[in-house]
C-alpha cells in the first residue's frame, strides 16, 4: 500500500512539474534567445518523440519509418481542414490521428514479424513507400512536392462563441494542452500492467512468450499507439505552421526524431522533449550565425556525438543515474547514524 501511494505521489509530482514547465516555457524562451514559435515546435516534436520512446525506449523496437505516420496525420488533418470537410480543428486532428493509427496497424502487422535489423529495414522500406505515394499517386490530395498551404489555424466553435488559437501564444497553449494530456496518458500506459509486460519483452522477449504473453500482439499495440502519437503530432504541426510540406514523410524526419529521443534519454518519457529542445535550439542558434552557414550541420553532428559519448543514457537518463548514485550513499549514511 505504501509503495502504491509512493508511486502515485511521484506521478502527481511529475505531472505538476510538467504543467509548471509548460506554462513557463514560452516566457523563458525569449530570455535565452528563442521565441514562442520555437517553443511550440519543441512541443510538437516532443509529442512525436513520446511515441518513439514507447517503442524504442520501453519495447526495444528501432523504427526508421515513423515519419510515414507523422506525414499521414499531417496530410489527412490538413486536407480535411483546408477543404472544410470537418466542423472544427479537433475533429480534423482526431481523424488524422485515426488514419495514422490505421497505417500503423498495417505497417506493424507486416514488419513486426521480423526482428533486429530486418525490422528496421522494413520500416525504412514502408517509409519510402509512403513518401512515394505522397509525392506521386496521391499528390492531388497531398499537394505533392508543393505541399498543402493555407491550413486553417486552430479554432473551436462553441455555438455562442469561437475559441480562437490563431495567435502565437494561443497556438502554443493549444498544443501544450495536447502535449500534457498525451504525456499523462503515456505515463498511465507505462505504469499499467500492459507497460509491465512491455518491460518484460524489452528485457527478454523469449521469456515473456514462454510465460504466456502474445509478444507480437503487445508489440503491435505499442507500434499502433506510437503511430497515433506521430499522427497527432503531424496534424498539430500543420495547424501550427499553416502548411504541410513533403518533408513530413522524409526519412530525415524519422532519423531526427530518433536522434532527439536518444539525446534526451530513451525510456524516460521526458527525454524526447529535452532532446527536441536541445536539437532545435542548437539548430536555430547555429543557423542564425552567418559564419557557420555552411558548417552548422557538421557542428550539430559533433555535438550529438559528444552528448551520446558523455551521456550513454541520454541527458535525462544521465541525470537520473547521477541522482540515484547520490541517493545510495545518503541512505547508507542515514542507516549508519541510526545504528
> Looking at residue 303, which CATH number applies to its domain?
1.10.3470
Give residue-wise pLDDT tens across range 108-118.
999 999 988 99
The answer to whether residues 263 and 314 touch, using CB atoms and an 8 Å cutoff, is yes
Helix or strand or coil: residue 284? helix
Query: So what's the pLDDT on residue 330?
Result: 45
Q: Where are the alpha helices (DSSP H) in 156-192?
A: 168-191
CA torsion sign, 110 to 114 to 116 to 121? negative
Cell of 120: 528496421
pLDDT band per the 50, 70, 90 thresholds, residue 335: very low
Give all strands (DSSP E) within the chain, no chain letters. Answer: 148-149, 155-157, 162-164, 243-244
Domain count for the chain: 1
Query: So what's the pLDDT on residue 329?
Result: 58
In this prediction, residues 70-97 reach a mean pLDDT of 95
Cell of 328: 545510495
Cα separation of 141 and 246, whole Å?
Answer: 12
Give residue-wise pLDDT tens across range 188-240.
999 999 999 999 999 999 999 999 999 999 999 999 999 999 999 999 999 99
Measured from the Cβ of residue 304, the count of other Cβ atoms closer than 10 Å reads 18
CB proximity list for 280: less than 8 A, separation 6 or greater: 38, 41, 42, 45
User: pTM score, two decimals?
Assistant: 0.92
pLDDT band per the 50, 70, 90 thresholds, residue 168: very high
Query: So what's the pLDDT on residue 339?
Result: 45
CA torsion sign, 49 to 51 to 53 to 55? negative
User: How far is Cα of residue 294 from the mean position of the Cα atoms in its chain?
Assistant: 29
Cα separation of 213 and 313, whole Å?
Answer: 28
CB proximity list for 172: less than 8 A, separation 6 or greater: 26, 36, 39, 40, 43
In this prediction, residues 149-178 reach a mean pLDDT of 90
- Domain assignment of residue 101, given as a range: 2-338
Cα separation of 153 and 242, whole Å?
Answer: 6
Place of cell 525506449: 57
Amino acid at each position: 500500500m505504501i509503495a502504491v501511494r509512493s508511486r502515485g505521489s511521484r506521478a502527481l509530482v511529475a505531472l505538476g512539474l510538467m504543467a509548471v514547465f509548460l506554462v513557463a516555457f514560452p516566457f523563458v524562451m525569449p530570455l535565452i534567445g528563442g521565441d514562442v514559435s520555437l517553443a511550440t515546435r519543441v512541443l510538437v516534436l516532443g509529442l512525436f518523440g513520446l511515441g518513439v520512446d514507447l517503442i524504442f525506449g520501453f519495447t526495444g523496437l528501432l523504427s526508421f519509418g515513423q515519419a510515414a505516420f507523422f506525414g499521414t496525420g499531417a496530410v489527412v488533418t490538413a486536407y480535411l481542414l483546408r477543404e472544410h470537410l470537418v466542423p472544427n480543428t479537433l475533429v480534423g486532428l482526431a481523424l488524422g490521428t485515426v488514419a495514422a493509427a490505421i497505417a500503423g496497424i498495417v505497417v506493424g502487422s507486416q514488419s513486426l514479424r521480423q526482428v533486429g535489423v530486418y525490422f528496421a529495414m522494413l520500416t525504412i522500406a514502408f517509409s519510402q513507400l509512403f513518401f512515394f505515394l505522397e509525392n506521386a499517386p496521391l499528390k492531388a490530395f497531398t499537394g505533392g512536392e508543393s505541399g498543402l498551404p493555407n491550413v486553417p489555424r486552430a479554432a473551436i466553435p462553441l455555438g455562442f462563441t469561437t475559441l480562437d488559437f490563431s495567435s502565437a501564444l494561443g497556438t502554443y497553449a493549444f498544443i501544450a494542452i495536447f502535449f500534457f494530456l498525451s504525456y499523462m496518458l503515456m505515463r498511465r500506459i507505462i505504469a499499467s500492467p500492459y507497460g509491465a509486460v512491455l518491460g518484460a519483452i524489452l528485457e527478454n522477449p523469449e521469456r515473456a512468450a514462454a510465460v504466456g504473453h502474445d509478444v507480437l500482439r503487445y508489440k503491435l499495440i505499442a507500434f499502433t499507439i506510437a503511430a497515433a502519437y506521430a499522427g497527432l503530432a503531424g496534424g498539430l504541426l500543420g495547424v501550427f505552421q499553416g502548411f504541410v510540406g513533403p518533408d513530413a514523410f522524409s526519412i530525415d524526419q524519422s532519423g531526427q526524431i530518433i536522434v532527439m529521443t536518444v539525446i534526451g534519454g530513451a525510456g524516460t518519457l521526458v527525454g524526447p522533449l529535452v532532446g527536441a529542445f536541445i536539437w532545435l535550439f542548437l539548430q536555430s542558434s547555429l543557423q542564425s550565425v552567418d559564419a557557420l552557414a555552411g558548417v552548422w550541420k557538421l557542428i550539430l553532428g559533433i555535438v550529438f556525438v559528444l552528448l551520446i559519448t558523455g551521456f550513454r543514457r541520454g541527458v535525462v537518463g544521465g541525470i537520473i543515474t547521477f541522482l540515484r548514485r547520490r541517493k545510495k550513499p545518503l541512505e547508507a549514511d542515514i542507516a549508519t547514524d541510526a545504528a
